[in-house]
Amino acid sequence: MPGPGPTSSRRSGRASSRRSPPWGRPCRRSRPRPGPPSPIEAAARAAEPGLREGGRLVYVGAGTSARIGVQDGAELPPTFDWPEAQLGFAIAGGEGALLRAVEDAEDSGADGAAWVARAGLGAHDVVVGLAASGTTPFTVEALKAARARGAVTVGISNNPAAPILREAAHGILAVTGAEVLAGSTRMKAGTAQKVILNLFSTLLMIRLGRVYRGRMVAMRATNRKLRARGVAMVAELAGCHAEAAAEALGRAEGEIKRAVLIAGGASPARAADLLLRHDGNLRRALNEAGPA
């Protein structure tokens, strides 16, 4: 057969010199720019410095909101070894109102402000006020008084026009709409408040170095189940057998972070020193300790 003529050669040449279409070339993907922090993250960032200096984390509320605040705060010591001395609860009507409703107590703004004054709150403290309506006088006035004394204040509400969101330095809004049972804020509003507190307090503990690789490394192992969980955590994080993890925990007096360092080859004294110098942050302590 005759070879290709001059016309077909020119066409072939033109075709071979064409640029590849853009979808045929690899494209460089740019990383998305981080947006502003969420209200929960912003509140946690603001709370961190004072708490590192020994400040107190205080929950303020009345009725359902008070009970939700107590539920969140009471779980911080066993879960994250948060000191009880750095935890406080301002409850309208006092502790007795947790079990028996004292409805009129929430109407006294003076009581809320007085609680803050008696507690001597200051610049290192963090005050979290909860109110579904956002208008509860006890909680609003407590936040105002705490902010005036220099404390970091966080207001959580389910009402967009709530005074508590204006009075707090960090307002967190959860719009949950009308309740199925009209006015019963223990339902959607209360559930949303608890979710917000879960996120806020857990993020705080992460920032304070009490969590490592999604594990509760500051947990207090106070029963058989938790002691077994502690052994499993040390074995996983240190990459050792359960027997070695249990031995390390014994040498660390049950402290998981120290045990991870000991299982990795550090002496008990060296492990304690590393954690002390890194403010209890296991990640930084491990980085300095280096490979076993």
Task: Note the pLDDT tens digit of each residue in 248-289.
Answer: 999 999 999 999 999 999 999 999 999 999 999 999 999 999
pLDDT tens for each residue of 71-97: 999 999 999 999 999 999 999 999 999
Whether the CB-CB separation of 74 and 237 falls below 8 Å is answered with no
- Determine which of 18-27, 35-44, 237-246, 251-260 has the lowest per-residue pLDDT on average: 18-27
Higher-confidence position of 4 and 282 = 282
Residue 253 designated active-site? no
Q: Residue 291: is it exposed, middle or buried by C-beta count within 10 angstroms (0-12/13-18/19+)?
A: exposed
Task: Report the candidate in 171, 183, 159 with the shortest Cα–Cα distance to residue 64.
Answer: 183
Strands of 170-173's sheet, edge to edge?
Answer: 87-91, 57-61, 126-130, 152-157, 170-173
SS3 211: coil
pTM here is: 0.84
| From 41, 75, 179, 247, the catalytic residue | 75
Which of 48, 95, 106, 167 is catalytic? The answer is 106
Contact 212, 274 (CB under 8 A): no
75 carries an active-site annotation: yes
